[in-house]
Amino acid sequence: MRVLIILFLAVILSACSAVSSSEAFPTVMLDSGGNASTPEAVTGGGDNGSGVTASGIVVPASNARLALTLGGNVKSVPVEEGDKVQAGQILLELDDAAIQLEIAAAERTLREMTSQASIAAAEQAVAAAEKAVEDAQKKVNTLNRGRADQKDLDYYESQLTLAEQTLDRAKSAWQNVTELSTADPKRAAAETNLYNAQKAYNAALANLNWARGKPSDNDFATAEANLAAAQAAYQEAQWYLATLKGESVPEDATGKQLAMLQQAKDNLTAALNRLANSRLLAPFSGTVVSTNVVPGEYILPGQALIELSDIANLQVETTDLSERDVPAVTIGQTVTVFVDALSQEISGRVIRISPQAETLGGDVVYRTTIALDNPPAELRAGMSVDVLFGE
């Protein structure tokens, strides 16, 4: 039966030899019995009930041209073309001496900031901030009761009484020396005592009047602002201490020391990321198809370095499934794949239909991917195939 197919293909090619090279050759469809069908069956217009057909090519299940996001001098390339590698295996390393120094410095800074001495200092800061809140709260409470309590009022009244007595004695002493000359030392001393006594009396009276009065709006505003600042500082000190101890804090936690600690952590993370980005790892298990770099070479970010293919798991991709036929193809649909080079049929199923159309010789086509059930060991990537989609 295969001989008939080959003869039929030869006849078609011979018949088409007189046609201009710009014309597309028709796709030959194989029916379930292995016989070649007429060209009308390619577009589904035949009456034999066969499914849609398309040409295709064998491809690796995964293929990638790998590059790094960093530039630098290549330190080592521990793989060669043809090597089989596992996912996560190192394929290439850049010179990372400078990055290692960054990591060491970042680790040292973070270690100092989270030491036992730093934790003890943070605990002291929390205690001091708590005391500041208590003092600020007392001030607010005092203003709410008035400027002074009764104990303070009694004190200010006593101070005024004493100042008044001192002022009376100073006045009497002054009366006794008013007839003396202004140059007389006794008169000068009496006048000075009277001045000081009057000043002390005025201050005591002012203190008492202030204590008896009500706080001003400015007094309340200042006290409330001081309390709010003390509470905020206390909260930030608590967050910082909790972070040092490895405890959770809210995402919106703030504070200068907390920001510095977070920056130290970010610096270490950034350095570790640079180290990771200086190494090219295999994203999947496969075979190294090509290497385009050697140790000592300087590479640029994004430069293609190594090509990796999963040639152990082969699939088929169609190349000319037309827009007229793609509506009849569905995910999971069974297919029969005929490998030209092996003259062998392989069953499979549709696993992916590209949502994006492509153009082939002016025709609109859709790339379709087919998983093969039992591919033979002789199957190679790049082999051409014919695909028959089952109904």
- Show Cβ contacts of residue 256 under 8 Å, excluding neighbours closer than 6 positions: 236
pLDDT in tens, 232-287: 999 999 999 999 999 999 999 999 999 999 999 999 999 999 999 999 999 999 99
Class of residue 69 by CB neighbours under 10 A (exposed 0-12, middle 13-18, buried 19+) = exposed
Strand partners, 152: none
CB atoms closer than 10 angstroms to residue 51: 21
Chain centre distance of CA 172: 86
- The domain locations on the chain are 2-61+313-389, 69-93+278-308, 110-270
For tokens 């596992």, name the residue. Answer: 86
CB 92 within 8 A of CB 74: yes
Residue 52: pLDDT band (50, 70, 90) is very high
The pLDDT value recorded for residue 219 is 84
The DSSP bridge partners found for residue 306 are: 66, 291
Domain 69-93+278-308, CATH 2.40.160.60 — does that match?
no
What is the share, in percent, of the chain residues with pLDDT greater than 90? 74
- Residue 2 pLDDT greater than 80, yes or no: no
Question: How confident is the model at residue 356, as a pLDDT?
Answer: 94
255: left (phi over 0), alpha (psi -120 to 50) or beta: left
For residue 27, pLDDT beyond 90: no
Tell me which of 198-207, 215-224, 240-249 is least confident.
Answer: 215-224
Q: What is the pLDDT of residues 92-132, one digit of tens each?
A: 999 999 999 999 999 999 999 999 999 999 999 999 999 99
Q: Which two tokens stand for residue 133?
A: 């809140």
- The CA–CA distances, whole Å, from 356 to 58, 335, 386 equal 20, 22, 22
Q: Which CATH code is given to the segment(s) 2-61+313-389?
A: 2.40.30.170
CB burial of residue 274 (10 Å; 0-12, 13-18, 19+): middle
Residue 210's pLDDT is 81
* Mean of pLDDT values over 300-316: 95
Rounded CA separation 91/310 (Å) = 15
Q: Using pLDDT thresholds of 50, 70 and 90, give the confidence band for residue 15.
A: very low
For the chain, the average pLDDT equals 86
Alpha-carbon distance of 95 to 78, in angstroms, equals 14
